[in-house]
Amino acid sequence: MFNENTIQKFQSLETPFYYYNLDLLQKTIEAIKQANKKNYHIHYALKANANPKILNLIKEAGFGADCVSGNEVKRAVEIGFKSSDIVFAGVGKSDKEINFALDNSIFCFNVESIHELQVLNELAKNKNVKANIALRINPNVDAHTHKYITTGLEENKFGINPYEFEQVFEEIKKSAHLNFIGLHFHIGSQIQDLSAFKNLCLRVNEINKHFIQQGFFPQHLNLGGGLGVNYTEPDTHAIVDFESYFNVFRDFLETQTEQHIHFELGRCIVAQCGSLISRVLYIKKGINTNFAILDAGMTELLRPALYQAFHKIENLSNPNGKTEKYDVVGPICESSDCFGKALMLPEMQRGNLIAIRSAGAYGEVMSSRYNLRDEVVAVF
User: By the criterion CB under 6 A, which residues form the site for ligand LLP?
Assistant: 45, 47-48, 66, 89, 149, 151, 186, 189-190, 224-227, 264-268, 303, 307, 362
Q: How far is the CB of 201 from ligand LLP (least distance, A)?
A: 16
Q: What are phi and psi of 24, to 5 degrees?
A: -65, -40
Comparing CB distances to ligand LLP, the nearer of 67 and 123 is 67
Comparing CB distances to ligand LLP, the nearer of 292 and 359 is 359
Using alpha carbons, list the distances in angstroms from residue 164 to 90, 136, 167, 349.
Answer: 18, 12, 6, 59
Q: What are phi and psi of 10, to 5 degrees?
A: -60, -35
Question: What is the tally of helices (H) and strands (E) in the chain?
Answer: 11, 16
Residue pair 18/358 in contact (Cβ under 8 Å)? The answer is no
Q: How far is the CB of 312 from ligand LLP (least distance, A)?
A: 15
Burial label, 108 (beta-carbon count in 10 A; 0-12, 13-18, 19+): buried
Comparing CB distances to ligand LLP, the nearer of 46 and 353 is 46
Comparing CB distances to ligand LLP, the nearer of 89 and 201 is 89
Q: Identify the CA nearest to 56 among candidates 92, 91, 33, 80.
A: 80
What single-letter amino acid sits at 137? I
Residue pair 222/260 in contact (Cβ under 8 Å)? The answer is no
Comparing CB distances to ligand LLP, the nearer of 13 and 79 is 79
Chain-centre distance for alpha carbon 83: 20
Q: How far is the CB of 228 from ligand LLP (least distance, A)?
A: 7
Q: How far is the CB of 3 from ligand LLP (least distance, A)?
A: 28
Comparing CB distances to ligand LLP, the nearer of 53 and 146 is 146
Q: How far is the CB of 32 from ligand LLP (least distance, A)?
A: 12
| Helix ranges, 160-265 (H) | 165-173, 195-213, 242-252
Q: How far is the CB of 196 from ligand LLP (least distance, A)?
A: 12
